[in-house]
Structure 1
Amino acid sequence: MDPDTHAALYGAARPARSPRGTGVAVVAAVLWAVALLLLAGLGFLALWAAADTGTTEGIPLHWWLIGLAVVAAPIGLLSTPAVRRLSVPARALVSGLALCSIAVGLTLWAA
């Protein structure tokens, strides 16, 4: 099709957006998946250990505190001005890196 005809029918031609940030998003997704898998495994083992010891009165307080700290660390990191200026894939990478390091540390501590 003639470029003038195309411009008359559909407007000015716009080049396709380059897929910037795709690699960063993939790495962030892998980090989040590893972190969530580790945390789910730790939660399963903690509940299994609690069930093995006999009756308890609910979930122990220190489990709630550890869970709160695990959730609060990436949220606190995301609220800093330096991270808020980043692109969305870069934010996911930074928070995924923080959460994955926390999950690996808890796994090593539990082992």
Structure 2
Amino acid sequence: MNPDTYAKLYGPGHPARPAPRRRETGVAVVAGVLWAVALSLLGCLGFLALWAEADSGPTEGITLRWVPICLAIAAVPIGLLCTPAVRRLSVQARALVTGLAICAIAVGLVVWAA
């Protein structure tokens, strides 16, 4: 590197300034809470459903019946992430949007099961 270029970039005339912090920590916290609630609801609901299924009789086809349901639930946030409007958002906003979608699905399944 040319010494003059280095002096212009990092010399005493140009003090180093840290990059401004982005203020999206609140969005990330809300997204994390939504994902935690959704995953805990889906985990508890899946446990109770498998327990009820195993209690009702033979257990040979339990996984074959529940795999399509789990794949459908997982396809919603993945499909949402593939849309161009969501791909343009920041990472925290994407997590919030998909967290809202999966939380709505989880709450709907719990209400339906109750």
TM-score (norm 2): 0.82
Match of 1:57 in 2: 60
CA offsets, 1:37-80, max 9 Å, x none?
A: 00000111011101211212232544222211100001000000
Please tell me the residue identity of whatever aligns with 1:31: L
Match of 2:41 among 38, 44, 60: 38
- Provide the identity percentage: 70
Unaligned runs of 5+ in 1: 1-6
Runs of 4+ in structure 1 over 6 Å off: none
Larger radius of gyration: 2
- Equivalenced residue count is 104
Q: Deviations over 1:16-35 (max 9, x none)?
A: 42242100000000000000
Amino acid at match of 1:45: L
Aligned counterpart in structure 1 of residue 80 of structure 2, from 77, 80, 87? 77
Task: Please list every run of 5 or more consecutive structure 2 residues that lacks an aligned counterpart in the other structure.
Answer: 1-9
Q: CA deviation at 1:14?
A: 1.0
Determine whether 1:86 maps to 2:92: no
